[in-house]
Amino acid sequence: MDCVKLLFVSPEINPSNRKARSIPILNPFDKYGRVFFFSWLGFMVAFLSWYAFPPLLTETIRKDLGMTQVQVANSNIVALLATLLVRFVAGPLCDRFGPRLVFIGLLLAGSIPTAMAGLVTTPNGLIALRFFVGILGGTFVPCQVWCTGFFDKNVVGAANALAGGWGNSGGGITYFVMPAVFNALVGSQGLPAHKAWRVAYVVPFIIIVAVALTMLFVCDDTPTGSWSDRHLWVREARESEGNIVDINSGVPPSSLSKSPSMTNVMDIEKKSGAQTPISLEPESQPIAQFDAIRADTVVAPTRKEALNVLFSLPTVAVAVTYACSFGAELALDSFLGSYYATNFPGMGQTESGRWAAMFGLLNIVFRPAGGFLGDYLYRTTQTLWSKKILLIFLGIVMGAFELAIGLTNPKSESTMFGLMAGLAFFLEACNGANFALVPHVYPFANGIVSGAVGGMGNFGGIVCAIIFRYNYTNYGRSLWIIGVISIAANVAVAWIRPVPKTPTVNQ
């Protein structure tokens, strides 16, 4: 009963960092609940538009534009390429300007090419258009960074997994929405097919703009308000009557504020660069816990610091595993409808699309499951190795399912859909478990880590899409190749520590 109550009431707040210790999923009137709501909703409508073309590409758009199988595959690859570039840029932008404004900017930028779908008349025109629509896929990074900034580490895995999973479900919802809009325009409005599919893309444009503008006016950048005020809680923690130094050392706040150590801390806080791990001398031990609080604040890192974070082994490890799991999901979202139509010729565009939609819709449950499992294991074991082991286990079993589907290439609907449901669980839970670990890697540069991992997810999607492209309609062979890569990659990074060996804060 208490768990249900937490869905409605305003959450308990961690006084040291102003982050919520529960997720008020059903309370949009609370600022934490409102940010959570728009995090997943914004990403969902972006995903819906980003993947709005595959449901109608199976038959309608392909015939109207005279596209070959290779051109369809190329359009799917290009749609991922723009997202790859945007995600790598979005991470540092989130650290500098705040995730909310980056989120809104990407939504509005991606809505423009979505509305221009009606102008496409050639296969190359569609490929070019899908490149710019791919901007919307970059919204995943501010979605995760925004959640991380509002929810404490005991629930951040669940918050990120829920927001990411419900957002990813847009890839499944679009298989229902776009054919339904298209059929309504043809059946009820009497439009010819070549006009109806073009008009249909006005719908996601309207939805995206409405969500972006609402997000602009009703949400906050951080728990303390605007992005420029994100250090406010650090100053308040230092100045408050219940100062942590008084508790641990008995040193009065007045003497603490005059110490050289505190001066150095505040100087670092004012820098434009990210803070690095601080080695505390004995005389500075009284402010150790204050440093711990401060290091949870995101700052804009220097180029050198950003590169150190980007190429560190813990960042590489989570990026590689995400490239395997989310990369495979992106490719399957594009090709699954065609795979079903090939193996089960009796299915038309609408029915094969609906079955393909199930894979994306399972994100509503399966991706959050990975985040919840990661948080539970962390609370139980008090070690991040538990999250890392879970991530590797899910990744290896995911690869095993890809092998099983690819090698058997089922011609029975029950076998195919059963194996795909199993793959969906381990693949999508792997995505959730990944972003349950990401916030711990470098808390002060969470945008960079999230952008790198998200970008590598798209890089994996491009690799998987290329594998599908060069195997043409032999979808089974493509899947088992991806399975071999997934198992090998997860085993290869299993030994890497979940966080840097040099002690940093909130790990």
Mean pLDDT of 215-222: 94
pLDDT of residue 464: 94
pLDDT at 500: 87
Q: What is the pLDDT of residues 102-112, one digit of tens each?
A: 999 999 999 99
- Given a contact cutoff of 8 angstroms between Cβ atoms, the answer to whether 497 and 314 are in contact is yes
Distance CA 507, CA 502 (A): 11
pLDDT computed for residue 298 by the predictor: 57
Would you state the pLDDT for residue 256? 36
Give the tens place of pLDDT for each residue, 463-504.
Answer: 999 999 899 889 999 999 999 999 999 999 999 999 887 644
Give the Cα-Cα-Cα angle 183, 185, 189 (nearest 5 degrees).
130
Burial class (CB in 10 A: 0-12, 13-18, 19+), 495: exposed
Q: Given this model, what pLDDT does residue 387 score?
A: 95
CB atoms within 10 A of CB 496: 17
At residue 281, does pLDDT exceed 70? no
Residue ranges of E strands in 309-456: none
Helical segments of 8-122, H only: 31-50, 54-57, 60-65, 69-97, 99-115
Type of residue at 123: P
Model confidence pLDDT, tens digit, residues 42-95: 999 999 999 899 888 878 999 999 999 889 888 988 988 889 899 989 988 998
pLDDT over 80 at 9, yes or no:
yes
Residue 140 has, within 13 A of its CA and on its CB side, a CA count of 40
Give the pLDDT of residue 1.
Answer: 56
DSSP designation for 345: T
Euclidean distance between the first and the last CA atom of the chain, given in angstroms as a whole number = 31
Top mean pLDDT of 246-250, 272-276, 422-426 is at: 422-426
| Band of pLDDT at residue 237, cut at 50, 70 and 90 | low
CA dihedral 251, 253, 257, 260 (to 10 degrees): 10
Q: Which residues partner with 225 through β-bridges?
A: 222
pLDDT the model gives residue 446: 83
pLDDT at 403 over 70: yes
Q: Which pLDDT does position 262 carry in this prediction?
A: 35
Amino acid identity at 47: F
Confidence of residue 291 (pLDDT cuts 50, 70, 90): very low
Q: What is the pLDDT of residue 181?
A: 93
The pLDDT assigned to 66 comes to 93
Radius of gyration of the chain measured on its C-alpha atoms: 23
Q: Are 371 and 435 in contact (CB under 8 A)?
A: yes
CA-wise closest residue to 230 among 440, 452, 504, 444? 444
Residue 335: which pLDDT band, with cuts at 50, 70 and 90? Answer: confident
Give the residue among 321, 330, 326, 354 at the shortest CA–CA distance from 340.
Answer: 354
Reduced to 3 states (helix: H, G, I; strand: E, B; else coil), residue 3 is helix
The answer to whether the CB of 307 falls within 8 A of the CB of 88 is no
> If you average pLDDT over every residue of the chain, what do you get?
84
In the block, which residue shows the tokens 């906050």? 220
CA distance 224 to 153: 18
172 DSSP β-pair partners: none
CATH topology classification for 27-224+305-492:
Growth Hormone; Chain: A; (1.20.1250)
- Whether this model's pTM surpasses 0.85: no
The candidate with the shortest Cα–Cα distance to 442, out of 374, 371, 506, 370, is 506
- Which range has the worst mean pLDDT, 67-76, 217-226, 263-272? 263-272
Signed CA dihedral, 46, 38, 232, 23: sign only:
negative
Structural contact between residues 168 and 363, judged by C-beta atoms closer than 8 angstroms:
yes
**Pair 172, 358: CB distance under 8 Å:** yes
For 298-312, the pLDDT digits (tens) are 556 677 878 888 889
Question: What confidence tens digit (pLDDT) does each residue in 348-397 have?
Answer: 777 888 888 899 899 999 999 999 999 999 999 989 999 999 999 999 99
Confidence label for 241 from pLDDT (cuts 50, 70 and 90): very low
Give the domain ranges of the chain. Answer: 27-224+305-492
Round to whole Å and give the CA distance between 6 and 126.
46
Single-letter amino acid code for the residue at 194: H
Q: What is the pLDDT of residue 234?
A: 58
Give the phi and the psi of residue 224 in degrees, each rounded to 5: -100, 5
Q: What percent of the chain has pLDDT over 70?
A: 84
What are the tokens at 97?
């300007």
